């Protein structure tokens, strides 16, 4: 009777390359989490107020608006696309919700979701069926949504207020177990997002389309439907973020959302989703959002620093992360 033994692994063998690839994959996906933990611990030690319940709750609430929009962007980017319209759609959704709140809760919720969902549907159809580049199509969507926003607010001179005592205010101002409803909304949506990504055919199709669209088509996967769903979902979640911010501020603020698309993309990429598509995680996006918010909070803790430093620091971190992602991706392929 013979005993099977594992082959020896020498430097440069398949086993060693496989081990390097696994390490590279882990670092690529969890690097943002390591930075987040380090930043949070350092800030807790450096600033007495950072680790307080009040400040941590504030971070969670402020991050919730960006997180909702970033969740939709995650599926778009994983599918090999990009959505530059989310900032303008976010602002449009907020203004429509504030106006609708004067006519009841149902109108405040249904109107922005319907209008913004239609924008996402048009974008998705043009990209999927027309074959136009997502960058151009969603840039047009950005201009359309911002233009429509300026039209209904008389070029920003009209600010719609949420009536005092309106049920709409409770969406973002109400609390459950000490946390704003917006935080609970994020928790539920990201749990659903994780289930969709890992437990449904749509999630696997999205990753396949982002990884190699031609191969996905040859496999008979519903490529066009996947793209349309991604852009509709992105616009709906951007509208939901706008609804939440309108409830939180009790008004529809026209200037909100300017440049938000770049912050959203940064959060998604920081969380480990490849800009080229085909790989990413929902949890990683949430970590990326929290990292950006923690950076912003730390800079606010340092009273002598201008708030613009948040953009500077975030830009540097993003550049480092994207560069590291490309290098790690090459290591995985070796």
Task: Provide mean pLDDT across the span 58-83.
Answer: 92
Cβ pair 289, 187 in contact under 8 A = no
Cβ pair 185, 172 in contact under 8 A = no
Quote the pLDDT of residue 331: 59
The angle at the Cα of 322, spanning 321 to 326, to the nearest 5 degrees, equals 115
Alpha-carbon gap, residue 114 to 139, rounded angstroms? 20
Task: Provide mean pLDDT across the span 167-191.
Answer: 89
Boundaries of every domain in the chain: 30-41+49-333
Q: How many residues does the chain have?
A: 334
pLDDT 10s digits, 213-264: 888 888 888 889 999 999 999 999 999 999 999 899 888 777 887 888 888 9
Of 130, 141, 105, 131, the residue nearest 238 (C-alpha): 141
Look up residue 75 and give its two tokens.
Answer: 């599926």
Distances (CA, A) of 197 to 44, 74, 188, 193, 277: 34, 10, 14, 6, 14
**Mean pLDDT taken over the chain:** 83
Residue 307 pLDDT more than 90? no
Percent of the chain with pLDDT over 70: 82
| CA 309 to centroid of chain Cα atoms | 22
Quote the pLDDT of residue 65: 93
Of residues 162 and 94, the one with the higher pLDDT is 94
Q: Could you please report the per-residue DSSP string of 73-106?
A: HHHHHHTT---TTHHHHHHHHHHHHHHHGGG-HH
Residue 3 pLDDT more than 60? no
| Burial class of residue 8, CB neighbours in 10 A (0-12, 13-18, 19+) | exposed
Quote the pLDDT of residue 49: 83
Asked which of 138-147, 162-171, 316-325 is least confident by mean pLDDT, the reply is: 316-325
Alpha-carbon gap, residue 186 to 163, rounded angstroms? 25
Quote the pLDDT of residue 260: 86
Q: Please state which CATH number belongs to domain 30-41+49-333.
A: 1.10.3470
Task: Provide mean pLDDT across the span 88-92.
Answer: 93
- pLDDT classification of 326: cutoffs 50, 70, 90: low
Cβ pair 244, 172 in contact under 8 A = yes
pLDDT 10s digits, 268-288: 988 888 888 778 889 989 998
């Amino acid at each position: 009777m013979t005993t099977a033994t594992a082959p020896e692994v020498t430097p440069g063998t398949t086993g060693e390359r496989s081990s390097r690839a696994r390490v590279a994959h882990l670092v690529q996906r969890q690097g943002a989490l390591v930075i987040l933990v380090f930043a949070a611990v350092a800030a807790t030690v450096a600033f007495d107020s950072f680790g307080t319940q009040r400040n941590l709750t504030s971070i969670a609430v402020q991050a919730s608006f960006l997180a909702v929009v970033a969740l939709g962007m995650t599926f778009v980017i994983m599918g090999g696309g990009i959505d530059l319209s989310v900032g303008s759609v976010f602002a449009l959704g907020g203004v429509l919700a504030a106006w609708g709140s004067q006519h009841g809760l149902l109108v405040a919720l249904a109107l922005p979701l319907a209008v913004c969902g239609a924008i996402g549907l048009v974008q998705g159809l043009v990209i999927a069926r027309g074959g136009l580049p997502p960058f151009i199509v969603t840039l047009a969507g950005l201009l359309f949504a911002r233009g429509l926003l300026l039209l209904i607010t008389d070029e920003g001179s009209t600010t719609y207020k949420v009536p005092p005592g309106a049920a709409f205010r409770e969406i973002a101002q109400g609390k459950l177990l000490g946390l704003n409803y917006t935080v609970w909304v994020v928790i539920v949506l990201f749990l659903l997002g994780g289930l969709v990504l890992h437990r449904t055919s749509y999630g696997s199709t999205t990753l396949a389309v982002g990884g190699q669209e031609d191969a996905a088509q040859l496999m008979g996967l519903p490529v066009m439907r996947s793209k349309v769903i991604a852009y509709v979902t992105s616009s709906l979640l951007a509208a939901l973020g706008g609804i939440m911010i309108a409830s939180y501020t009790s008004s529809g603020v026209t200037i909100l959302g300017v440049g938000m698309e770049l912050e959203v993309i940064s959060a998604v990429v920081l969380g480990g989703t490849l800009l080229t598509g085909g790989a990413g995680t929902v949890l990683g996006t949430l970590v990326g959002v929290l990292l950006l918010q923690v950076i912003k909070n730390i800079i606010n803790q340092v009273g002598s620093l201008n708030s613009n430093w948040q953009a500077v620091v975030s830009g540097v971190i993003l550049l480092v992360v994207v560069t590291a992602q490309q290098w790690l991706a090459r290591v995985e392929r070796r």
